[in-house]
Structure 1
């Protein structure tokens, strides 16, 4: 039935080329720079618990992605047989889950299914808002603008920043031509290219400096913005952003002063702790 609609729907090699493969693989680089994901790693009681967390995470990720693909295929088959019901989906294919839930299920069951979408959105949204607000409040306002700010003042600044970030998000989402996947891929590339190289270099290279990290964040973010506007080579913008951000870290770190002896010692202790800690029961298994 799906083949009758279009053979391209089941052709895994359709439109596949080197640039497409690299772009798809580039999505994996974005994980290193997502604040709401990094916060989960920071919550781990030790690096040994990551082994168990990795198994749980990958299991659920595979199930979720397989479910998304299944919904897409089912939507193609269902709306191909019922074209009169496919108006909203034809205008915006991202509505396929919503339309199927409303058509196929009792309103009470459909409400539960649709609330799952809101739960997923609100979970990520709340974490992103809090992370952005705390970063602006602590790392910018307190560190550079008001070092003597009281705790009550920081609380109010944090609340204002939550409102400001929320208004910016509303403005970005208000464009009717925008699609969820397009906005997510753009934000994913921006965060990944700006913060991903810094996170990786901070745990793998003791020579990285503050100026190198700052240069990497700026260069990575700017590269994504510029590349997105021009769309060179049809390459996903996180790839050049990650590459140029990494080069910026290395170049500006080597041009400036080396990290202090205290920083080098702190890095060495953390590295030694990671490699010398006894294996957990999960690793022994």
Structure 2
């Protein structure tokens, strides 16, 4: 990629197309199943089946099979990536850092395999609960990720005054806010919104109590200069 601007345009174009298609499927499903309530039973019971039911109803079985296989492909690719990420994080960031700093590479490989099995068993247990819905679990997980790390990432590229303690405070406040908001269901508001706001405030307040290191300021200014040159 020759410039950051081109990369930004390409990534945003594909993101808009993907999200626009997803929203369009939802609106089309609302219109179609409202007009044909006799076939809306599976979707009424579980709204997450709208794409599956539309593919089965509107397309030739061969084409519907290809469309439905896309769901399995997305699930398998995401699942494999998440299993590896969780395994690596537990092995390197927890086991090696806190439990066995002198662990050999062979030992870490076996621990990583056991972590994959452990995470898979936890996922199976969660999926076995008929009351759990993929959309609900994913939205809760992304609320935690978004509120904990979103403000840190955004503020780190927009403000050179953020400190390490400010970033840690933002991560903790964002995660705790999401968990508490979900448990008490306050105001019926999606938990990422208050989590993002409180995390941003925590970053600003705690950062103002200290000062960023000279190295952090230099890296920020160097990155900003590179960005301006590539506009």
What pairs with 1:212-227 in structure 2 (closer than 5 Å)? Answer: 212-227=166-181
Paired position in structure 2 for 1:188: 142
Q: Pick from 195, 199, 213: which aligns with 1:245?
A: 199
Paired position in structure 2 for 1:271: 220
1:201–1:208 CA contact under 8 A, matched in 2? no
Residue 117 (str. 1) matches residue 37 (str. 2): no
Paired position in structure 2 for 1:108: 62
2:162–2:203 CA contact under 8 A, matched in 1? no
Aligned positions, number: 229
Q: CA offsets per residue over residues 109-147 of structure 1, 9 Å max, x none?
A: 111101111222233333322222222222222222222
User: For residues 65 and 200 of structure 1, what CA distance do their matches in structure 2 show?
Assistant: 21
2:152–2:170 CA contact under 8 A, matched in 1? yes
User: For residues 135 and 62 of structure 1, what CA distance do their matches in structure 2 show?
Assistant: 31
State the 1:235 CA deviation.
Answer: 1.9
1:275–1:73 distance in 2 versus 1, CA, 3 Å: closer
Runs of 4+ in structure 1 off by over 6 angstroms are none
2:160–2:220 CA contact under 8 A, matched in 1? no
Task: Name the SS for the 1:99 alignment partner.
Answer: helix
1:202–1:208 CA contact under 8 A, matched in 2? no
Q: CA offsets per residue over residues 9-36 of structure 1, 9 Å max, x none?
A: xxxxxxxxxxxxxxxxxxxxxxxxxxxx
User: For residues 24 and 152 of structure 2, what CA distance do their matches in structure 1 show?
Assistant: 37
1:133–1:158 CA contact under 8 A, matched in 2? yes
State the 1:98 CA deviation.
Answer: 0.4
Task: Name the SS for the 2:90 alignment partner.
Answer: helix
Q: Pick from 208, 225, 240: which aligns with 2:163?
A: 208
Q: Pick from 60, 64, 67: which aligns with 2:18?
A: 64
Question: CA RMSD of the aligned region, Å?
Answer: 2.7
Gaps (5+ residues) in structure 1? 1-44
1:141–1:206 distance in 2 versus 1, CA, 3 Å: farther
2:91–2:108 CA contact under 8 A, matched in 1? yes
- Greater relative contact order (Cα < 8 A, sep 6+): 1
State TM-score, norm by structure 1.
0.69
Paired position in structure 1 for 2:42: 88
State TM-score, norm by structure 2.
0.83
1:206–1:267 CA contact under 8 A, matched in 2? no
1:91–1:53 distance in 2 versus 1, CA, 3 Å: same
Paired position in structure 2 for 1:171: 125
